[in-house]
Amino acid sequence: MSSLNASFVQNMSIVYPESFFIIGLTGIPYSNYYYIFLFITYFIAVIGNSIVLLIIALQRSLHSPKYIGVFNLALADLGETNAVIPNMMKTFFSDSQYMSYHACLANMFFVNFFITVQSATLVVLAFDRFIAICLPLRYHAILNNTIMSLVFIVLWTFNTSLAALSASLMTRLSFCKSNVVQSFYCDYGPVMRLACNDNSINVFMNNFMAALFLISPVFIIILSYLGIFFALSRITTWEARLKALKTCVSHILLVGIFFLPIICMFIASSVSTLTPNTRVISVSLSFTLPPMLNPIIYVLNTAEIRVIIQKLLKNRIMPIRKNISK
């Protein structure tokens, strides 16, 4: 009986650290300049995505299923950059690289949540392009503003639940060996590997989320574009093919920018062991560059947004020129 009680007490005694030490880049001279570069990307991402959000919200001509998807992508980009960069700046430009246990879990939740929303939104946008090109006559019957809004409500609710479950599973881990996180934020994988008790459920959850939001979306998007290319091959004129394909350019670029760095990192880590600094740089770039580039790509490649921005700039500049001429 005493042995059972001892076993019970041992299983119940979970050690939570007061804080985690976020190691970031180590042994690299002038690493502060890299953090300044990331802060510049953050600044551009915040301004760019805020402009896209305002334009879509204020222009009734952009209230369509496609731009509801673009709006949600910009919102996720804005959330991700605010979850990653300000915390990182606070950590590495202050006197301490420590992050409290509960702040770490919150940071983990928000980063995982917005990353998964980005991935899922790219799948929804691929479906939008598939319907628009393969079933153009049925587009408004299959997709409308109400249906697209409901899709994103379900998506955000599901991803919130999954990210919350993922973060809450961390509370069952005991950290009695080390509190040094080999990353630039409270990264799920490095934190999970610090546990000194059974973390098999956490490993499963990590693999499940990777399969659901990194591997599956790539296959779904590839299948959707195979369908699109098959539909384009049935169009008789090259002009009509290029016109239809042009509507997909922005989305293809966004998919490449988001998924390629992550895929390359997974391939590199499976072939050889990545050093902590290499992993920090690759992960930080894959998290910060897409939110910065996404609004730029949509402004440059989307005629509707480009025309609206040109009109706004023209309306602003013309009164200034008139005042100067007077």
Q: How far apart are CA 167 and CA 170, in angstroms?
A: 5
Q: How far is CA 241 from the centre of its chain?
A: 31
Q: What is the CATH number of the domain that holds 225?
A: 1.20.1070.10
Residue 4 has pLDDT above 60, yes or no: no
pTM: 0.87
Per DSSP, 212 falls in state: I
- Residue 8: predicted pLDDT: 34
Domain hosting residue 146, numbered range = 18-169+177-325
Kindly indicate the confidence band of residue 266, based on its pLDDT and cuts at 50, 70 and 90: confident
pLDDT tens digits for 70-128? 999 999 999 999 998 888 887 777 767 889 999 999 999 999 999 999 999 999 999 99
Task: Please give the pLDDT value at position 152.
Answer: 96
Q: Is residue 68 part of a domain?
A: yes
Q: Are 20 and 103 in contact (CB under 8 A)?
A: no
Chain centroid to CA 13: how far? 36
Which long-range contacts link 158-162 to residues 24+ away (Cβ below 8 Å)? 159/113, 159/116, 159/117, 159/120, 160/113, 162/116, 162/209, 162/212
Return d(Cα 172, Cα 35) in angstroms, integer.
33
Task: State the Cα–Cα distance between residues 231 and 23, nearest whole angstrom.
Answer: 50
> What are the structure tokens assigned to 283, written together?
């992960």
Does residue 10 surpass a pLDDT of 70? Answer: no
Report the SS3 class of residue 271: helix
**What pLDDT does 170 receive?**
93
Within a domain: 1: no
Each residue of 135-161: pLDDT tens digit? 888 888 899 999 999 999 999 999 999
Average pLDDT, the chain: 85
pLDDT digits (tens, 9 = 90+) for 159-184: 999 999 999 999 999 988 788 988 88
Please give the tally of structural domains in the chain: 1
Is residue 257 domain-resident?
Answer: yes
Q: Enter the DSSP assignment of 290.
A: H
Residue 319 has pLDDT above 70, yes or no: no
Residue 265, in any domain of the structure: yes
pLDDT at 6: 34
| Residues 196-221: tens digit of each pLDDT | 888 899 999 999 998 999 889 999 99
Residue 183's nearest CA partner among 260, 101, 262, 84 is 84
Q: Give domain status of residue 4, yes or no.
A: no
Band of pLDDT at residue 246, cut at 50, 70 and 90:
confident
For position 321, what pLDDT does the model report?
A: 53
Q: Count Cβ atoms below 10 Å from residue 258 Cβ, excluding itself.
A: 26
Answer whether residue 11 is part of any domain: no
**CA gap 321, 325 in Å, rounded:** 6
Residue 118 has a pLDDT of 94
